[in-house]
Amino acid sequence: MAVGALIGAYQEDDSGGLRALLPLAGRTLLEYQVRCASAAGAAPIIVVVQHVPQALQDAFERLRLDGVAVFPVSDVDDAVSRFEAGSLILLIGDGIAPSAELVAAIAQEPEPAVATVADDEEHAGFERIDAESRWAGVAMVDAHLLGSTAAMLGDWDLQSTLLRRTLQEGAIRVPAVGTGGDPLLAEKAEDLADFQRKLLIGSRGLRPDWVSRYLLPPIEEFATEQLMETGVKPAWLMWGALGLTLGGAFCFARGWLAAGLILLLVSMPLDLIASRLASLRLKPLAVRMLSRLALWPAAGVALLALGIWEASHVSGWGAFVSAVAAVAFAEAARVERSGMQDGELWLLSRRSAITLAIPFALVGAWTSYIVGILIYAALSFFIVQHVRHQPTS
């Protein structure tokens, strides 16, 4: 069954502005709500507004540029006409910052459902349902119920009236506690500070090698916090990482070894930052993304370019043969360890190979570096072989 989304954006915060425009993760609360609904598969996404200030218009434009279809309406009847007859509608309350997991869980309900939180002091600002629970700000309602509610709404608040009628129709109640944590009702910017910190922590992806685990986190954290408030797209960072890697290969081929290494060092955290930005914007990068897939081969090209330069100008054919062997062992280890859950931390990776070049570069021992990478790649391959093919009890 088709699922749409209806989000309120008309209530004011403590300063007189719209709650929907409170800042969150470099964007606005409304953008976060819309992205949660979009990630849960809801379409169309309708935002009920009384007026559209420039800041709200800018938010709509950013969403559209990111490929999220969102439509503001000021008339409830207009909102009703946007949904298919018989469809279900994901309702997200004005000023509510839910977890993406909670929105997804409610969106998967096959019948009307209401997310609830406990009726206690912590949730005193949430709308009370009964003596034991309050509305968590997310619900699934019938489109026909929205239409009949619009016909009798008058001066009543849309989301409260729709919630009450949904409960009267026997909607199931889903505790929010077991679906990604408590939602937050924001009335001022300070209310979202802890929620934003949770989003930042939650955006940390898998760090499979020792460089990303122990050396890059401070750079990654700082860059993510700075870039999340900009219009930088994660895909740009991925292509930037690929471009810098190929630039490093070009520099190695021309004998500009220090410049090549600097470009490779700059490229190291960019894919991690891109993944975190994509996670914060609830639009994860595609697994088969071309720029992501090309990073590993590009690093191999850089090593081969270095081997060719060293073979031509320093140490003879041995450097090139060692580079070819290192690339072959590294690729074989990568293929073999596909799907491994443990033991990857100290194996050869793109980032570890780049980092290990630093001490050799400082003393100008580039051929020794290539031989060292060959040994590292071979050891990684044999370790993976041992782990993957050892007999099980």
Residues 70-96 have pLDDT tens digits of 999 988 888 889 998 889 999 999 999
- Is residue 237 one of the residues assigned to a domain? yes
Find the angle CA(55)-CA(233)-CA(181) to the nearest 5 degrees. Answer: 75
Share of the chain above pLDDT 90, in %: 74
167 shares its domain with 242: no
- 8 Å CB contact between 79 and 73: yes
Bridge partners of 172?
Answer: 113
- Is residue 198 one of the residues assigned to a domain? no
114 shares its domain with 164: yes
Residues 196-236 have pLDDT tens digits of 999 999 898 888 899 999 999 999 999 999 999 888 999 99
Which pLDDT score is estimated for 213?
Answer: 94
70 shares its domain with 103: yes
CATH number of the domain that residue 148 is part of: 3.90.550.10
pLDDT tier at 157 (50, 70, 90 boundaries)? confident
- CB atoms closer than 10 angstroms to residue 86: 10
- Is residue 69 one of the residues assigned to a domain? yes
170 shares its domain with 217: no
Look up the domain containing 129 and give its range.
3-193
Q: What's the token pair of residue 267? A: 């490229």
11 shares its domain with 34: yes
Residues 350-371 have pLDDT tens digits of 999 999 999 999 999 999 999 9
Find the angle CA(104)-CA(283)-CA(123) to the nearest 5 degrees. Answer: 40
d(CA 159, CA 324): 64
- Is residue 200 one of the residues assigned to a domain? no
- CB atoms closer than 10 angstroms to residue 53: 12
Mean pLDDT for the stretch of residues 12-17: 82
- 8 Å CB contact between 141 and 89: yes
How many domains would you assign to the chain? 2
Q: The whole model's pTM is what?
A: 0.88
pLDDT tier at 156 (50, 70, 90 boundaries)? low
179 shares its domain with 260: no
218 shares its domain with 286: yes
Q: Which of 193, 222, 251 is the last residue of a domain?
A: 193
- 8 Å CB contact between 88 and 3: yes
d(CA 102, CA 263): 42
State the DSSP string of 179-204: TTS--EE-SSGGGGHHHHHHHHHHT-
122 shares its domain with 245: no
